[in-house]
Structure formats: structure tokens, C-alpha cells
Amino acid sequence: MTGAEVLDIASQGIWTLIIVSMPMMLVGLVVGVVIALFQALTQIQEMTLVFVPKIIAIFITMLITLPFLGATMAGYMDRVVDMIIVGG
């Protein structure tokens, strides 16, 4: 296996990581901004108010996108296993 192939596998792994984590991160960002806006408008400065809705929203997003996440990770693993079997 050459250095270019190793870098290609690493690059594909990083892109897979970004694609898999993107739905949860975006939902967490949106929920955090909405709650921060609500806190700014109502002047409620409770630090723990953000955590529960954010955790619930991320968990629901993870349940909804689980088939897509599994298929994406399985596709990456298939490519890696194929390269291992072929020998590079």
C-alpha cells in the first residue's frame, strides 16, 4: 500500500466523519441559537436551560438519521475491507 492510498483512505474517513456528524451538529447549533435568542428576549439567564432541549433534539435527530448514518459508515467500511482484500 502506497502513501497516496493511505492518504486517500484517511481523507475518505475524515469526510465520512464529517457527513455522519453533520446532522446532529447542525440541529444542536440551531437549537442552541433558538434557546439563546429566547433567553436574550426574555432575559432568563439560566445556564442549564440549553442542555436538556439540545440533548433531546440531538437524540431525536440521531434516531431519525440512523439508517443514513449506518449506510454511510457501512459504505466506508466496505471500501476499506475491499482495499484490504485486494491488497491495496
Q: Which of 72, 56, 80 is nearest to 20 (CA)?
A: 72
Residue 34 has pLDDT above 90, yes or no: yes
Q: How far apart are CA 18 and CA 32, in angstroms?
A: 20
Q: Identify whether the C-beta of residue 76 lies closer than 8 Å to the C-beta of residue 12.
A: yes
Kindly tell me the burial class for residue 5, based on how many C-beta atoms sit within 10 Å of its own C-beta (0-12, 13-18, 19 or more): exposed
Look up cell 474517513; give the residue. 13
Domain locations along the chain: 3-86
Per-residue pLDDT band for 2 (boundaries 50, 70, 90) equals confident
Q: The whole model's pTM is what?
A: 0.80
Q: How far apart are CA 66 and CA 20, in angstroms?
A: 9
